Amino acid sequence: MLAKEHGLNLKETELCLGLPGGGGGGEAAAETLRTTGKRGFSETVDLKLNLQGNDNNKEDLDENLKNVPKEKTLLKDPAKPPAKAQVVGWPPVRSYRKNMMAQKVSTEENKSGSATTEKTASSAAAATAASGGSFVKVSMDGAPYLRKVDLTMYKSYQDLSDALAKMFSSFTMGNYGSQGMIDFMNESKLMDLLNSSEYVPTYEDKDGDWMLVGDVPWEMFVGSCKRLRIMKGSEAIGLAPRAMEKCKSRS
Amino acid sequence: MTHSGSSLPDLPNSTSTSGPMSEIRSPPPDRVLEIVLENVLHFLTCRRDRNAASLVCRSWYRAEALTRSDLFIGNCYAVSPHRATSRFRRVKSLTVKGKPRFADFDLLPLNWGANFSPWGSALADSYPWLEKLHLKRMSLTDDDLDLIARSFPSFKELVLVCCEGFGIAGIASIAANCRLLRVLDLVESVVEVADEDEEVMDWISCFPEGETHLESLMFECVDCPVNFEALEGLVARSPFLKKLRLNRFVSIPQLYRLMHRAPQLTHIGTGSFCASDDVAVGDQEPDYASAFAACKSLVCLSGFRDILPDYLPAIYPACANLTSLNLSYADVNADQLKPVILQCHKLQTLWVLDSICDEGLQAVAATCKDLRELRVFPVNTREEVEGPVSEVGLEVISQGCRKLQSILFFCQRMTNAAVIAMSKNCPDLVVFRLCIIGRYRPDPETQEPMDDGFGAIVMNCKKLTRLAVSGLLTDQAFRYIGMYGKLVRTLSVAFAGDSDQGLKYVLEGCPNLQKLEIRDSPFGDAALRSGLHHFYNMRFLWMSSCKLTRQACQEIARTLPHLALEVIDSQEDKADDHIEILYMYRSLDRPRNDAPKCVTILQ
- Predicted pLDDT at B180: 97
Among A204-208, B43-47, B444-448, the least confident range: A204-208
Task: Band the pLDDT of B1: cuts 50, 70, 90.
Answer: very low
pLDDT higher than threshold 70 for residue B312: yes
Query: Over the stretch B105-151, which tens digit does the pLDDT of each residue have?
Result: 989 988 899 999 999 999 999 999 999 999 999 999 999 999 999 99
Using CB atoms, pick whichever of A68, A89, A127 lies closest to residue B331. Answer: A127
Minimal C-alpha gap between A29 and chain B (Å): 16
Task: Band the pLDDT of A53: cuts 50, 70, 90.
Answer: very low
**Secondary structure E strands in chain A:** 135-140, 146-150, 199-204, 210-212, 227-232
B498 CB neighbours in chain A (<8 A) are 71-72
Judged by CB atoms within 8 Å, which residues 349-378 of B form the interface with A?
377-378
pLDDT higher than threshold 50 for residue B468: yes
CB atoms within 10 A of CB B466: 18
The secondary structure of residue B595, as a DSSP letter, is -
Which is higher by pLDDT, B31 or B213? B213
- Predicted pLDDT at B591: 92
Query: What's the CA gap between B361 and B357, in Å, rounded?
Result: 7
CA angle B434, A99, B202 (to 5 degrees): 130
Percent of chain A with pLDDT over 70: 33
- Predicted pLDDT at A77: 34
Query: What's the CA gap between A105 and A122, in Å, rounded?
Result: 10
Mean per-residue pLDDT, A234-242: 71
B578 CB neighbours in chain A (<8 A) are 40
Query: What's the CA gap between B516 and B531, in Å, rounded?
Result: 11
- List phi, psi (to 5°) of B216: -145, 130
Mean per-residue pLDDT, B157-185: 96
Which is higher by pLDDT, B597 or B341? B341
Q: Which of A171-185, B280-294, B550-564 has the highest average model confidence (pLDDT)?
A: B550-564
* Among A36, A49, A67, the residue to mutate for chain B (most B Cβ within 10 A): A67
Instruction: Please indicate whether, in this complex, the C-beta atoms of B545 and A74 are within 8 angstroms of each other.
Output: yes
Instruction: Please indicate whether, in this complex, the C-beta atoms of B441 and A67 are within 8 angstroms of each other.
Output: yes
Nearest one of B516, B539, B533 to B586, comparing CA atoms: B539
Instruction: Please indicate whether, in this complex, the C-beta atoms of B498 and A26 are within 8 angstroms of each other.
Output: no
Which is higher by pLDDT, B275 or A132? B275
- CB B444 within 8 Å of CB B471: no
Q: What is the sign, positive or negative, of the torsion defined by CA atoms of A35, A40, A46, A48?
A: positive
Query: Over the stretch B283-311, which tens digit does the pLDDT of each residue have?
Result: 778 899 999 999 999 999 999 988 999 99
Determine if the pTM surpasses 0.90.
no
Mean per-residue pLDDT, B209-217: 97
Instruction: Please indicate whether, in this complex, the C-beta atoms of B382 and A132 are within 8 angstroms of each other.
Output: yes
DSSP secondary structure of B516-539: EEEES---BHHHHHTTTTTGGG-S
DSSP reduced 3-state for A231: strand
- Predicted pLDDT at B284: 78
Judged by CB atoms within 8 Å, which residues 182-241 of B form the interface with A?
188-190, 192, 195, 221, 223
ipTM of the complex model:
0.87
Residues 6+ apart with CB under 8 A from B488: B458, B464, B465, B466, B467, B481, B510, B512, B513
